[in-house]
Amino acid sequence: MSGFDVTRADKHRARGVVAFASLSLSTALLFALLSTQNSSSEAASLDTSEPIIATAALAASEAATASGTELESALTAEAAPSEPVLERSTAPAASALYNQHFVYAAVADAAALDAAAFRDCSSCATIIQVERRVPRGGTLAGVLEDAGIGNVEAARAIAALGNVFNLRQLRAGQSINLYLETRPEESRDVALNGLSFRPDVDRAITVARTFGDEFRARETIAEFEVEMARASGTISQSLYVDALDAGATDRVVVELAGVLAYAIDFQRSIRAGDEFDILFERHIDDEGNTARTGDILYARYAGRGEPKEFFRYETEDGIIGYYSGDGASAQRLLMLTPINGARLSSHFGRRRHPILGYTRNHNGTDFAAPTGTPIFAAGNGVVLRANRFGSFGNYIRLRHANGYETAYAHLNGFARGIRSGTRVTQGQVIGYVGTTGRSTGPHLHYEVHHNGRPVNPMTLDLPTGRQLNADEIPLFEAERDRILAIRDGAVDARSGEAPIMADASNGGAQ
């Protein structure tokens, strides 16, 4: 008999069949459960999700235009879906198209709701830009206070500005842009978001509030291309008008008057037919506009007598001046006329006095000009007196080198800081034209005294300024020849774009 046990084999076979049957049943039940969950999810999606999305979109669409009871009805419809919702759940294809349409409508209407919310918002911040100008004698703190900025916030902004800009350089008339934020719900009515201004044509200063609620200042410097421009022409109206027509700017004409002031009497020497020629630096921006002008390198004026020709030259010790072609200084001890734009109304010598009615010596020269016209110091010196002086009215007397003194009478007022003992420089404003004292109208009475004796200011042969020594002449001649070569190749000043106009607010072209 073999070792095979039939009874034991049958038992093993029976156990295997039971195990297989149990595994098959378990697998079938698992698949059935999963199928049931998927079917329930789809049903829920069709019966709940779609109607809710579509109904919400419909409510939003209605709410966008509803008001009063209509808005209340739209919100009620969203809370209690109506019968058509159940019908859409039984038609999957139609429901999908309906749902897609209303989702797009919901997006569009939500944007409309947002726009309406911001438009009708009563507590949202409003940012505005305002322009303010610094008044004469005013400060930036005063400008901010006038705009409604609190003292603490103004002080923080000014402290930040002080890191990049010296507030003492803030000029009267300077334009400042303020960026203000208003929040009606807050206790403060106006908040400062920032400010900006241009102290010069090539500088921009900004102060901005950061995310940390601090203020930060920044200075931006513009870069310009420098070119040499030449303005030349013939006098037909006046040096000022004709020089502007030739392409010069206000600043260039004023500098030209300063260069020629020692050699030309602008009240008597300028005549129609005289010729002028100016070479000056011009700074060009990216758009080809003249942002500003620089120094005059060369000036020539041909009128009565020999033409006057001057070259700009800087000595090795840093002193800048204008010299004739042979190296003689253009500067004189005293200016011929210490006022610009005036008319010579009375000469030096004997004349019939317009008020007293009899003839006597007139020890000066009178220049008629509007009240307030600036008066310059004719030369470097010291103020001997600046006060009221009899029939001269408001009066200034200066002492200069080599025994010369000058006097200025009938002034409307004195420039700031002008008092006895003050040192002044040639060309410095010392007072303003008026009609104080024994005077028939606004004018400047100007006198020159040499060693205590009055002399005619218009006929003085005054000593020149600094002379170049023998070692400096070759260097000057090299610079003179270089300037002449530049002049011959310079662009016509009229060929450029119109200059950016200057004023105290933007630091424009001068």
Q: Are residues 207 and 101 in the same domain?
A: no
pLDDT at residue number 300: 93
Phi, psi values for residue 5, rounded to 5° = -105, 110
Alpha helices in 66-200 (DSSP H): 69-79, 84-89, 92-119, 140-146, 151-161
pLDDT in tens, 431-459: 999 988 888 888 888 889 988 888 887 77
Strand-strand pairing, 275-284 and 225-234: antiparallel
Q: Which of 265-269, 334-338, 352-356 has the lowest mean pLDDT?
A: 352-356
Q: Are residues 95 and 110 in the same domain?
A: yes
Flag whether 431 is in a domain: yes
Neighbouring residues of 265: CB distance < 8 A, sequence distance ≥ 6 = 336, 337, 458
User: At residue 8, does pLDDT exceed 80?
Assistant: no
pLDDT at residue number 6: 42
User: At residue 388, does pLDDT exceed 50?
Assistant: yes
**Domain stop point among 430, 459, 488:** 459
Phi, psi values for residue 363, rounded to 5° = -85, 20
Q: Are residues 49 and 130 in the same domain?
A: no
Q: Are residues 108 and 175 in the same domain?
A: no
Flag whether 487 is in a domain: no
pLDDT in tens, 122-148: 556 677 888 889 888 888 888 888 888
More confidently predicted of 341 and 60: 341
- Tell me which residue range forms the domain holding 153: 126-221
CA 327, CA 322: separation in Å to the nearest integer? Answer: 9
What is the residue-averaged pLDDT of the chain? 74
pLDDT in tens, 160-209: 988 888 888 888 888 999 888 876 555 556 788 888 998 887 788 899 98
Strand-strand pairing, 491-492 and 225-234: parallel
Which H, E and C letters describe 427-474, residue by residue? CCEEEEEECCCCCCCCEEEEEEEECCEEECHHHCCCCECCCCCCCCHH
Q: How many CB atoms lie within 10 A of CB 425?
A: 10
Flag whether 311 is in a domain: no
Flag whether 455 is in a domain: yes
CA 102, CA 100: separation in Å to the nearest integer? Answer: 6
Q: Are residues 97 and 157 in the same domain?
A: no
Percent of the chain with pLDDT over 70: 66
Q: What is the CATH number of the domain that holds 215?
A: 3.10.450.350
Q: Are residues 349 and 403 in the same domain?
A: yes
Flag whether 364 is in a domain: yes
pLDDT at residue number 297: 94
Q: Are residues 60 and 133 in the same domain?
A: no
> What's the chain's length in residues?
510
pLDDT at residue number 47: 45
Q: Which of 196, 198, 191, 201 is nearest to 224 (CA)?
A: 201
Flag whether 293 is in a domain: no
Q: Are residues 76 and 136 in the same domain?
A: no
Q: What is the CATH number of the domain that holds 450?
A: 2.70.70.10
Q: Are residues 354 and 448 in the same domain?
A: yes
Q: Are residues 141 and 194 in the same domain?
A: yes
More confidently predicted of 355 and 305: 305
**Domain stop point among 192, 221, 250:** 221
Flag whether 467 is in a domain: no
* CA R_g for the chain: 45
Most confident listed range (58-72, 244-258, 472-486): 472-486
pLDDT at residue number 66: 41
pLDDT at residue number 482: 95
User: At residue 230, does pLDDT exceed 90?
Assistant: yes
Q: How would residue 285 be classed by pLDDT, with cut points 50, 70 and 90?
A: confident
Flag whether 356 is in a domain: yes
User: At residue 237, does pLDDT exceed 60?
Assistant: yes
Q: Are residues 348 and 448 in the same domain?
A: yes
Give the count of domains, the chain: 3
Q: Are residues 137 and 212 in the same domain?
A: yes
**Domain stop point among 119, 143, 165:** 119
